[in-house]
Chains A and B, each alone.
Chain A
Amino acid sequence: MASVTLSGVNKWYAGVVHAVQDISFRIEDGEFFGLLGPSGSGKTSVLRMLAGLERPTSGTIAFDDVPVQARSPQERNVAMVFEQNALYPHMTARQNISYPLKIRGLSKGEIETKVADVANMLNIAHLIDRRASQMSGGQQQRVAIARALVRRPNLLCLDEPIAHLDTLLRARLRGELKRLQRSLGTTSVIVTHDPIEAMTMTDRIALMRDGVMQQIGTADEIYNRPVNAFVAQFFGLHSMNVFTVSDVRDTPEFSGQCGGQKVLLPDCVKPHVQADRRIAIGARPSGVSVHKQGQAPRGADMLSLSGRVYVAEQLGDSILVTVQAGETTIQAMTPPSQVFGIDEPVDITIRENALYVFDGDQRTLRFASGQPLPGADRIASFG
């Protein structure tokens, strides 16, 4: 086990693609760290550099403050679980798991004990003499995890280890992996494109986009204080609504224009409006209320605009209503008792305490609602 420090790490491919741009962060000893981002964000490149499969073009990677960027995976004692094709197909599960120990020249007896231990830990003892082709995807990934853990690595690298499994199994393995990591205390990094995976499993998350680090923090911090609109929209089960309001004016009422639609703004936004009279508003679907036309409450503490229902999707314990307001669409999580028809004219309100304010270019967060509503999408994401 070790702490891991990256400082000023860059990765260029073929001198053309700047896949990882000046990334620095520290993973504490025993921490479960998530590298999150859409595809092409550079998260896998970071993981491969941590594992030693690739070298950074510049910058340092240190394990327990000892630079390791020039060392091989073996010298770093890292283990890795791949997304697919993780197991050697010509070996049984037992041979797969013992392989790293065999390489290290352990005695037969030692290998047997360790393999049996880790097989019991991962509930794969009954599969131990099967080959990869005789196991399901979930079983294969379990064996791959066993192979990674059997030698107690300094760092466990997980490259989308459960992305290829079906939904139910994924949810179960999520929990299993988290418990396993906790009980072993192995410093672990997981790469994923799924915010829910990152939120549910890890202690802290680094969110990347186009090779650039966007934000590092706990799930709570990133969810409630997203540094920019991209993070806000990417993170969470349901994307945050973000729309730019332009031509903001004070008279006759504090309002602006959004895609040809008039928006009444709450007073709390006032200090953040810039010289270009633009501002970006964010709100999670759980913070948006939809009302029948003309029935919306009015007040200086809320934003309101009107639109038409584009579609209403039944989610069981709530309804996800998508409203077309001018050229913007806004999603709202409404109670199942509220029924809306397609194309029904509606009013939308967002209370100040559910409101996020970004600058007009959606680059920086200016204002976050204090403590946001304990909204439905937050609860759903952990379900």
Chain B
Amino acid sequence: MSGHVSPSPASASEGNRLMMTLGIVAKHAVIVLILALFLLPLAWLLLTAFKPYSELFTTPPTVLPVNGTLVNFSEGWAIGGGKGIGDSLIVSSISTALCLILGFPAAYALARRFPPHGQMSFTILSLRMLPPIVPVIGFYILFQELSLFDTYTGLVIVYTFMNLPLVIWLLAEFIRQIPKTYEEAARIDGAPWYRLFWDVLLPLSAPGILTAGILAMIFAWNEFLFALVLTGEKVITLPKALASFFLFQQPNWGQLGAIGIVAITPLLIVSYYMQRSLIRSFSVELGGR
């Protein structure tokens, strides 16, 4: 009897295993499909960056560059890419630093002195919900009057204004998760406020600060509308520089690809290394409800 019974569960489990394998294959196929959808433009950008101009329009088109070249990078850099990257770096890093310096104390006060998810929290975040097109006209007139038009200072101010609410909100949510006992312990241990901040609060909120900083940086790095309206010829950030490649003639897609690759590489690297702490701080916010 047992001789008859034993093979059937075995074959059943084999069947199960087959189904499971098929399931995994299907799942991965879907993931690959979605990834391909997202990565294809990026791959095209990357490959184009290394093709000489003459190779861009050949029929049949080449997938991999046949005559690989770096000339797009040097040319793209020379016709405005370098200036764009430099200006973007200046404006976005200074505005990010300002956001964090101004945002942290505000976030701390919000986290410790105001009820969570109260009116104050909402009011601050709601500033971020404003469509950028709404304040941009006001800023334009204001900046003309204050001689801030087409200056680094002006753009830094705008990006700080734009990102501060989000930074405050993210940091406040993060600080709320830090038990007050750490601060009380530091007070008991005799730490004055600046040491409490430096020795205890700052290291404990580092992941939150990093997340908020990266987001502020990315937003400032990618911002186009304010840069377009509020700057002229002196300050040309990267998105504006890339757009200007289209202005006069048929754009050189190779140069566009090269500068585009240079523009996103730092963000990719940072996001890759930060993904764990990014996800963690976001799940803190969502899980904290």
Chain B residues with CB below 8 A from A79, complex form: 188
Chain B residues with CB below 8 A from A340, complex form: none
Centre residue among B187, B203, B204 by max chain A CB count within 10 A: B187
Selected interface stretch from A96-104, A189-197, A261-269, A345-353: A96-104
Chain A residues with CB below 8 A from B179, complex form: 84-85
State whether A53 touches B190 (Cβ < 8 A): no
Cα separation A100 to B181 with both chains bound (whole Å): 15
How far does the Cβ of B195 sit from chain A's closest Cβ, in whole Å? Answer: 6
Q: What are 17 pairs between A and B in contact, CB < 8 Å?
A: A53-B187, A74-B187, A74-B190, A79-B188, A80-B184, A82-B184, A84-B181, A86-B185, A88-B185, A88-B199, A88-B204, A89-B182, A89-B204, A90-B203, A99-B199, A103-B190, A103-B195
Chain A contact residues (Cβ within 8 angstroms of B): what range?
20 to 34
How far does the Cβ of B113 sit from chain A's closest Cβ, in whole Å? Answer: 13
How far does the Cβ of A25 sit from chain B's closest Cβ, in whole Å? Answer: 22
The answer, yes or no, to whether A73 is at the interface (CB within 8 Å) is yes
Given contacts A73-B190, A103-B191, A147-B189, contact A88 B181 (CB under 8 A): no
Cα separation A82 to B189 with both chains bound (whole Å): 12
Cα separation A103 to B190 with both chains bound (whole Å): 7
State whether A78 touches B189 (Cβ < 8 A): no
State whether A99 touches B189 (Cβ < 8 A): yes
Chain A residues with CB below 8 A from B187, complex form: 52-53, 72-74
The answer, yes or no, to whether B200 is at the interface (CB within 8 Å) is yes
Given contacts A90-B204, A99-B199, A103-B195, contact A85 B189 (CB under 8 A): no
Interface string of A54-80 (1 = CB under 8 A from B): 000000000000000000111000111
How far does the Cβ of A345 sit from chain B's closest Cβ, in whole Å? Answer: 54
Interface string of B174-206 (1 = CB under 8 A from A): 000001011011111111000100011001100
State whether B204 touches A80 (Cβ < 8 A): no
Chain A residues with CB below 8 A from B190, complex form: 73-74, 100, 103-104
Cα separation A73 to B199 with both chains bound (whole Å): 18
State whether A86 touches B188 (Cβ < 8 A): no
The answer, yes or no, to whether A354 is at the interface (CB within 8 Å) is no
